[in-house]
Amino acid sequence: MRKWYALSAIGHDRPGIVADLAEFIYECECNLEDSSMSRLGSEFAVLLLLSSTVQDAERRLTAGAKRLEWERRLTVFLRPLESEPMRGKPYGVGTYEVQASGLDKAGIVARVARCLAEQEANILEMFTHVLPAAESGTPIYRMSIAIDVPNRVAESVLRQRLEEVANALHIEIILRRKA
**For 52-86, what is each residue's pLDDT tens digit?**
999 999 999 999 999 999 999 999 999 999 998 87
CATH 3.30.70.260 maps onto the chain at 3-80, 93-177
pTM, 2 dp? 0.83
Q: What is the mean pLDDT of the chain?
A: 95
Are 47 and 38 a contacting pair, CB within 8 Å? Answer: no
> How crowded is the C-beta side of 166, counted as CA atoms within 13 Å?
18
- pLDDT for 62: 97
Which whole number is the average pLDDT over 99-104? Answer: 96
Write down the CATH superfamily of domain 3-80: ACT domain (3.30.70.260)
CATH class of 93-177: alpha beta
The yes-or-no verdict on residue 89 having pLDDT over 90 is no
Q: Which has the closest alpha carbon to 1: 56, 55, 62?
A: 55
Are 81 and 34 a contacting pair, CB within 8 Å? Answer: no
Q: How far is CA 101 from CA 61, 126, 137, 166, in A?
A: 41, 13, 15, 9
